[in-house]
Amino acid sequence: MKHRWTILILLATSVAFWGCTMNETTTQDLTQQVRDELASAPTDSDEAVILTQALADAEGLDIAQRNAVFTDALKLAEDARNFSIAEESPLPEGWPDPSLPGLIRVKTYPTTREAWVEQNTGSNGQFMTLFDHIKERDIAMTAPVVMEHSGEISNQRPEGMAFLYRRVDQAESGQFDAVTVRDTEPMTVVSIGLMGSYKTSKQREAQEKLQAWLDEHPEYVASGDVRVLGYNSPFMLPWRKYSEVQIPIAPVMSEKEPSMQTERAIFAGGCFWGVEHELQKLEGVQTVVSGYSGGDVDDPTYQDVCTGQTGHAEVVEVIFDPEKVTFEQVAMRFFEIHDPTQLDRQGPDVGTQYRSAVFYLNEDQKRVTEELIERLKSNGYDVVTRVEPATTVYSAEDYHQDYFEKHPGHPSCHFRVPRFEVPNK
């Protein structure tokens, strides 16, 4: 009987061990799959946004939770790759692609020439007024039709409606009876796509979701009227119609007053989201911008750098007031918020793009950095941080900037350890 229990315990231990090993292997495979698909995804596509978000969401989670996040993200990314709308008309030049229904995106729209009409246009309504205008001038229809609502989306006609021209130089601008042909300013919006008939109730629900998103992202404020983009005509089958509900937004202006005298520093310490977030907390630091440096490819994208083939590191460019904080103090904080003993990695992020490095801008920065490294070594830390002359810093895409400000509550693998005070044990 005793032997039977011994065998059972050994079997249970074996299953637990192999199960754990399989889970770890699965996580590594899924992580690599996410990174590979992100590297091949078009910049700022729905697919890239979904996979980038998954990598952020997975930080700090246990193995089972990470697997679930990556599995869901890969399926959603596949849906995004395969998604398309029933197009009846072309989009204006430079217009962003429609997004996967239900996915909230921040999008920027270019300057566009539009024919605009307000609500009070007589018995034939806004649409027919605009249709008559472009028909008389032999101007081809484009997608979408833009409908603006002040305040809440209501069952009544929108406050204004616009047809878009294919190019800014197409046709003549000016006032034509009830129609105003004008050029819009570039616009940033938070947007959500809807599939199916243009129901006011669905559009109001979408507006509520966007408002909730704004409440969760205090770094943005609404800067214009709610608008609905209708991509299909009234004759399209209801279930094949596609629309987007959007709220124009603008960033909240920083309250930091820039100093007349500033200095610059460049650091690499793993994922730039966490390094940026931690260094922004330091008194005297004015701005921190995420970017790429140290490689041999001009103007790389995030997808390029993720391959590990460009030689770039994810870096932060720090602008600070030397009257309030010194380079030595900024560099000390840098060494305390990442692990300078990890070679070509930082926590779960592995690759030369996540290396630890200081890119010095002058001999004084080089000297100070080398002295700090010697202090850390005397404290028992096997520092592998590279000290390299600075090269061009390429700014990362907008969705990487102030990432943890835009996504409060997300865990970060960067936190402060007082390495200059506490010896390594």
Helix (H) and strand (E) counts in the chain: 10, 18
Give the model's pLDDT for residue 342.
92
Sequence spans of domains, the chain: 2-82, 104-251, 263-406
Give the model's pLDDT for residue 23.
58
Task: State the DSSP code for 400.
Answer: G
Give the model's pLDDT for residue 141.
82
Give the model's pLDDT for residue 9.
39
Q: What distance, in Å, lies between the first and last C-alpha atoms of the chain? A: 46
Residues 6+ apart with CB under 8 A from 293: 266, 268, 312, 313, 315, 359, 390, 391, 392, 393, 394
Give the model's pLDDT for residue 196.
93
* CA–CA separation, 113 and 155 (whole Å): 27
- C-alpha distances in angstroms, 262 versus 33, 285, 324, 393? 42, 9, 10, 17
Pair of tokens at residue 221 = 């404020």
Give the model's pLDDT for residue 363.
93
Run means of pLDDT, 10 residues per run, the chain, 425 residues? 44 41 64 85 85 82 88 94 91 91 91 86 73 89 90 82 89 88 89 94 94 89 92 90 94 59 92 92 92 91 90 94 94 94 88 95 94 93 94 88 76 80 74
Give the model's pLDDT for residue 260.
60
Residue type, 64: A
Give the model's pLDDT for residue 6.
44
- 104-251: CATH topology is Multidrug-efflux Transporter 1 Regulator Bmrr; Chain A (3.20.80)
Give the model's pLDDT for residue 411.
65
CA 85 to chain centre: 23
User: Which residues are designated catalytic?
Assistant: 271
* CA–CA separation, 333 and 278 (whole Å): 9
Measured from the Cβ of residue 410, the count of other Cβ atoms closer than 10 Å reads 16
* CA–CA separation, 313 and 393 (whole Å): 10
Class of domain 263-406: alpha beta
Residue type, 149: H
